[in-house]
Chain A
Amino acid sequence: MSTTGRIVTVYGNMVTAEFEASVRQNAVAYCQRSDGVRLMSEIIRVRGKRADMQVFELTRGLKVGDAVEITDELLSVELGPGLIGMVYDGLQNPLPEMAEKIGKFLEPGHYLKALDRKREWEFTPSASIGDTVTAAENLGKVKENIFDHNIMAPFTLKGEWKVKKLSAAGKYKVEDEIAVLENDGETISVNMIQRWPVRLPLGIYNERLLPTEPMITKQRIIDTFFPVMLGGTYCIPGPFGAGKTVLQQITSRHAEIDLVIVAACGERAGEVVETLREFPHLKDPRTGKTLIERTIIICNTSSMPVAARESSVYTAVTLGEYYRQVGLNVLLLADSTSRWAQALREMSGRLEEIPGEEAFPAYLESSIARFYERGGIVELKDGRRASLTIGGTVSPAGGNFEEPVTQGTLKVVGSFLGLSYARSYARRFPAIDPLESWSKYTGTIPVEKVAWAHAFLRRGKGIFEMMQVVGEEGTSIDDFTIYLKSEFLDNVYLQQNSFDEVDAACPTDRQQYLFDMVCNVLKHEFTITDKSVARDMFFTLTEQFRNWNYAPWQSDRMKEAEAEIKKTMSSKEASANA
C-alpha cells in the first residue's frame, strides 16, 4: 500500500516530495539517500501534489530527485509485553540494542523492532473459545515482572467478535498467534503485539472518572500542600538551575505508583544516563524489585534530531495509555514540554506558517491541552480502575511564567508546582514556591489544617518584607515570632534533603506525624520578649527537627530527637511567663 515520490526540496529537517498517487496526512515515509540509506519521516502537510515531511534524522546527503517511499501507516508504536525496563528513542528504537548494532553514534537510517521477538512469555488464557469479545477485552495474560500483563483483543476491533481459537496455557513469543477471532465469516489472527498511532489517544474503557485518590510522591511539600491525584495532571515550571529535573528524578524514584514512564524530551543526555545507570541498582521499597523493573525510558535528548523530539512525547504518552489499558497506575514524567514546544516552533517556522506569540505556532495551546487530556483515571471494561498521571516540566525563557508554553499549560493542569530562583539560590530544596504554587486536588492531610499552616507562610513573608523596611527593632515580638514560625515550617517541613537516605522520601504516616508535631510548635504561644532569645530558640528547634527528619522511622534516634524537642518545648524560655 505504499507509493513513491521524488524529493523536490531539502531545507533543514524538512523535505518536500512530489507524488502521484494519494497520500495520508501524518503517514510515515522514507527518504532514500543515493547511498541506499533510508531516512524515516512523517508527512505533516500536503499541498496539491507536494507533501512536506519532517525527517527524523539528519538530512545531510539528500538531494532533489531522490526517491521517497510513502507508506499508508500513521506514525505508530508497538505495544505488548516487554516494554517495561526498556530504553527507547523518540521513535521507539531500543537504544542499547542500537549501540550494540551500530556503535557509539546514532548513524541515520537504522531502525530496530521495539519488542524482543525471541523472548518467551508464559501465557494463561482467560477467555474461552466461543466467548464474544470487543476491542481491548482480555483474552489472557502473561506475567511481566510483577505485573499481570493482559493480552487484549485488538484495539482497532469494531463490534463483537467470537473467539474461534485460543491458545492453551504455555510459552509463546510475541509474534506467535494466540487467538483467532471471527465476525460474520471474517477471521483475524491475534498475537501479543498491537500497533497504535501515537497522535491518537488510546482509551477504550467504560467511563472516565474524577481523580479522587492522591498520588503519593513522598515529598512533603507536594503531598501536603500541593497534592497530585492518580489520573491527574501537574506541571513544574521553573528557570534553569531551580531543580526541575531533580524533582522529576526524585518523583520517579519514590512515587507510589505501578509504572513510571520517563520521557526525556530535548534535555541533557547526562540526566537520562543517570536514570539509566542507577535504576537497575536502586530498590523500589514497595516491591523489593529494582526501579528499572517499573520504568520505561523514552529518551530523545537535545542533540538528537528535533523532529523525533516532537514525536517522543506522543510515543511516551501512548505507552502510558497502553499500560493503563493493561490495568496499571502509570505516571508519565515529561521533561521538558518546552523543548517539545520548541520543536513544534522549529517545524512551524520551516513550514512558513504565520507565527503566534514568540513565534510559537497558533496551535500550541490546543496541542498542549490535547496532550495533558490524554491522562486520567478510568474504569476499564473489566471493571478495574487504572490511571495515567501526567507531570510535565516547563522551561520558560528567562524564568518568566508569562510566556506561551507556561500559560498554555497552566490552563489545563490540576496542580502547579512553580519553582523559584530565589528559593534555589537560598538552597531551599525542593525549590517549589509555596506562595505561587497551587493545587486543585486534596491530599492526605485535611484541607483546613493545611490552609491554617499555609497562612503562616504568607504572613511570615509579609512580616519579612515589612522588616526590610522598618527593621527588626520596629517589628513587634508577636510579628517576629510569626516570622520565625514561618521560617521554621519552611525549614523543617517544606524543605527536604534529597541526598539524605531517610529524608529523601517521607511516607504518608510519617508526614502526618511530623505535620502534627510541627503544628504543635506553630500553635504554641511563646511568650518570649527578647528577639534574640526567640531566634535562638527556633534555631534549636529547627536543628532538633532536622535530626528527627534524618532519623529512621521508629528508630531510637528518632525517639531521642523527639525527646529533645519535647525538652525544648517545655523549657523555661518556651513556656509562658519566661
Chain B
Amino acid sequence: MRKYYTRIDNIAGNVATLKATGVTYEELAVVEGSWGKSLAQVIRVSDDNVSLQVFAGTRGVSTGDKVSFLGSSMRFSFCDDLFGRIFSGGGEPRDGRSELTDNLIEVGGPAVNPAVRLMPHRMIPTNIPMIDVFNTLVEGQKLPIFSIPGEPYNELLARIALQAEADVIIFGGMGLKYDEYLFFKNRLEEGGAMARSIMFVHTASDPVVECLQTPDIALTVAEQFAVQGKRVLVLLTDMTNFANALKEISITMEQIPSNRGYPGDLYSQLASRYEKAVVFEEGGSITLMAVTTMPGDDVTHPVPDNTGYITEGQFYLKNGVIDPFGSLSRLKQQVNAKTRDDHRAIMDGCIQLYAKCRETREKRAMGFEMSDWDQKLLKYGDSFEKKIMSFSANVGLFDALQQCWEILAEHFEPRETGIRSSLCDQFWPQK
C-alpha cells in the first residue's frame, strides 16, 4: 500500500524537503507533478523532515506535487540482456528499447574485503610503447588519463578499450557532449566491440544528479560480472564532471566546502568509486580507466590531486603525447620483471636520458654553448620523441624495447646510458 505525500516544504537546488515518517536513509522516492515525474533519493532524515535529491532536478516542481517512497534504495537489473544496450546515467534505456526489470541488484554496495583481493599480475598490452614499455597497464588497475580539454583523451581511451582484451566493456559517460557520446558509440560499433559492451551515458544536457548515479550503476554492473569471473574493463569519462556534480549538490546542502568549493569528502567519494577496481582469486577482475580533465592544466587542482592519491598512477596526456614525466603506472613493477630482463633498465635508462635532454634544451633556449655531450642528448631526444613517444607508434612490447636499444646505440656509448653493464653486454645492438 503506497502512501502519497502532497506537501513539499522547501525546494532548493536539486533538493526538496518534506515531512514524512518511516522513511529509511538512501531510500528511493518518486516525485510526480504536472511537469512529469522523477526518481529521487533520500539524502537526510531528521525527525520527520526528509530531504530528497530529485534526479531530474527541481525545475518546475511544485510544493503540491505528489511524493511516494519506494521502500528500497537504488537498484538496477543485472542480466545478459544488458550487452549492446545504452542507458542514461540514471539507468533508463537511452536506445529506445525496453526497460529491464529482472534480477534487480542494489547499486553502490559495500566494499570488497581486502583479504579476498589478489595482487594485479597480468599485463594488458596496448601496443602503445609509452604505455607498454614505460608505464605498463595491468589488469585490475585503476588509472586515469589526466589532460586538459582539447587533448585527444577520448581517442586514447577508445584505442585502449579496443586493443585491450576484455570480456566485458562498460562505458560510463558523465557530462559528455552529445558528439563525444556518438564518438564512443561509433568507435565501439566499428571496432566490433558493441556486443560485449554496455553504455551508461549522461550528457551535459541531462540532470546533474544523474551524473552522480552514472559511475555507481556502471561499477555495480561491472562488479557483478567480475564476481562471475569475467574480466571487465570500465571506462569513465569525465570524472571531473562527476566531482563538479558533487560540488553542486554539497553546496546546495549547505556543507562547508574544503578546497575551491569541493566538499571535504571528495577524496572518499572518488575513492569509493575507483576502489571498485579489483582482481578476485577466482579470476574475475575490474580494470578502471578514467578521464580527469584538469582545469588550466593544473595538477594541484583538487580533482586531479585527490585522484592521483587514489589511483595507481596516471597517464598524463600533454601536447598529444603521453608525457613520460607526469605519467606513472604504479603497478608496472608487478609485471615488468616478467616480460624481459632489459625491460626495467630500458624503462629507467631512456627516461633518465630524456630528462637530461629536456634540461639541455632549456640551456640551449637560453643561448648557451652546447658541449658534445649536450649534442648527443639533443639528438637522442629527437629520435626518442619521433620513434617512441609519438601517438602514432603502434608496436608490440618486444619490438618497442628493441627500438629503444637501437636509439641508444645510435647516440651513446653503453656506459653513458647508466644501464648496468651486464645488460648492455647482452642487448647492445652490434653495428
- Give A residues with C-beta under 8 Å from B: 8-12, 16, 34, 58-65, 87, 95-96, 98-99, 103-108, 239-241, 266, 268-270, 272-274, 276-278, 299, 301-304, 306, 339, 342, 345-346, 349, 352, 355, 358-360, 395, 397-400, 425-427, 468-469, 471-473, 499, 531-532, 535, 539-540, 542-543, 546-547, 550
Contact = CB atoms under 8 A, between A and B. Distances in A.
A400 to B, nearest CB: 7
B425 interface: no
B117 A273 contact: yes
Return the 10 tightest CB-CB contacts between A and B, nearest first: A398-B300, A302-B271, A471-B368, A303-B275, A240-B308, A359-B258, A9-B46, A95-B115, A303-B111, A10-B25
Given A60-B26, A274-B119, A241 B114 contact: no
Given A61-B26, A63-B22, A240-B305, A301 B45 contact: no
Contact of A99 (B43, B113, B118): B113
Contacts of B265: 12, 306, 342, 346, 349
Interface residues of B, number: 80
Interface stretch (B5-13, B397-405, B414-422): B414-422
A358 B259 CA distance: 6
A358 B23 CA distance: 34
A398 B45 contact: no
Interface in B268-305: 268, 271-272, 275-276, 278, 280, 299-302, 305
B25 A349 contact: no
A470 to B, nearest CB: 8
B355 interface: yes
A96 B113 CA distance: 8
Contacts of B257: 359
B369 A9 contact: no
Given A425-B325, A472-B371, A539-B416, A349 B115 contact: no
B270 to A, nearest CB: 9
A4 to B, nearest CB: 18
Contacts of A107: 110
A99 B116 contact: yes
Interface stretch (B175-183, B237-245, B309-317): B309-317
Nearest to B276: A303
Interface string B88-124: 0000000000000000000001111111111110000
Contact of B355 (A306, A425, A542): A425
A540 B25 CA distance: 68
B418 to A, nearest CB: 7
Given A268-B312, A355-B256, A105 B368 contact: no
Contacts of B390: none
B348 interface: yes
Given A241-B308, A349-B256, A397-B259, A8 B46 contact: yes
A98 B46 contact: no
A299 B267 contact: no
Given A349-B255, A532-B372, A398 B113 contact: no
A173 to B, nearest CB: 24
A64 B348 CA distance: 58
B344 A342 contact: no
Contacts of B22: 63-65
11 contacts: A11-B45, A95-B114, A241-B314, A273-B117, A278-B119, A358-B258, A359-B259, A426-B352, A468-B362, A472-B363, A543-B418
Contact of A104 (B43, B116, B300, B314): B116
A398 B313 CA distance: 15
Contacts of B328: 241
Given A63-B25, A346-B268, A87 B258 contact: no
B312 A105 contact: no
Contacts of A87: 114-115
Contacts of A542: 418
Given A9-B47, A269-B114, A398 B23 contact: no
B337 interface: yes
B333 interface: yes
Contacts of B61: none
B159 interface: no
A246 to B, nearest CB: 9
Nearest to B313: A241
B152 to A, nearest CB: 23
Nearest to B263: A349
Interface in B248-262: 255-259
B21 interface: yes
Nearest to A359: B258
B420 A546 contact: yes
B275 A301 contact: yes
Contacts of B312: 268, 270
Contacts of B416: 539
A532 B416 CA distance: 12
Nearest to B348: A427
A290 B226 CA distance: 32
Interface in B12-56: 21-26, 43-48
A135 B344 CA distance: 55
Nearest to B226: A104
Contact of A61 (B24, B276, B306): B24
Interface string B333-361: 10001000000100010011001000000
B112 A269 contact: yes
B73 interface: yes
Nearest to B25: A10
Contacts of A540: 415
A273 B46 contact: no
B114 A299 contact: yes
B194 to A, nearest CB: 30
> Which residue, of A12, A60, A468, A535, has the highest number of chain B Cβ atoms within 10 A?
A60
A270 B331 contact: yes
Contacts of B278: 269
Contacts of A397: 259, 300, 302, 305-306
A96 B256 CA distance: 38
B234 to A, nearest CB: 15
A362 to B, nearest CB: 13
B70 interface: no
Contacts of A304: 111
A269 B371 contact: no
Given A346-B268, A397-B305, A398-B301, 19 more contacts: A10-B25, A11-B43, A58-B110, A60-B73, A62-B25, A64-B47, A64-B48, A95-B115, A103-B113, A104-B112, A266-B271, A268-B275, A273-B119, A302-B271, A339-B267, A342-B268, A398-B305, A468-B366, A532-B373
B119 A269 contact: no
Nearest to B43: A11
A358 B267 CA distance: 14
Given A10-B25, A64-B23, A272 B300 contact: no
Nearest to B413: A539
Contacts of A241: 308, 313-314, 328, 330
Given A104-B116, A276-B114, A468 B371 contact: no
Q: Which of B112, B325, B415, B420 has the most CB of A within 10 A?
A: B112
A241 B302 CA distance: 16
A106 B258 contact: no
A557 B262 CA distance: 57
B333 to A, nearest CB: 7
B264 A342 contact: yes
A296 B404 CA distance: 43
Contacts of A550: 420
A273 B47 contact: no
Contacts of A472: 363, 368-369, 371
B227 interface: yes
A335 B373 CA distance: 42
A302 B275 contact: yes
A531 B373 CA distance: 10
A473 B369 contact: yes
Given A59-B25, A105-B109, A106-B113, A270 B120 contact: yes
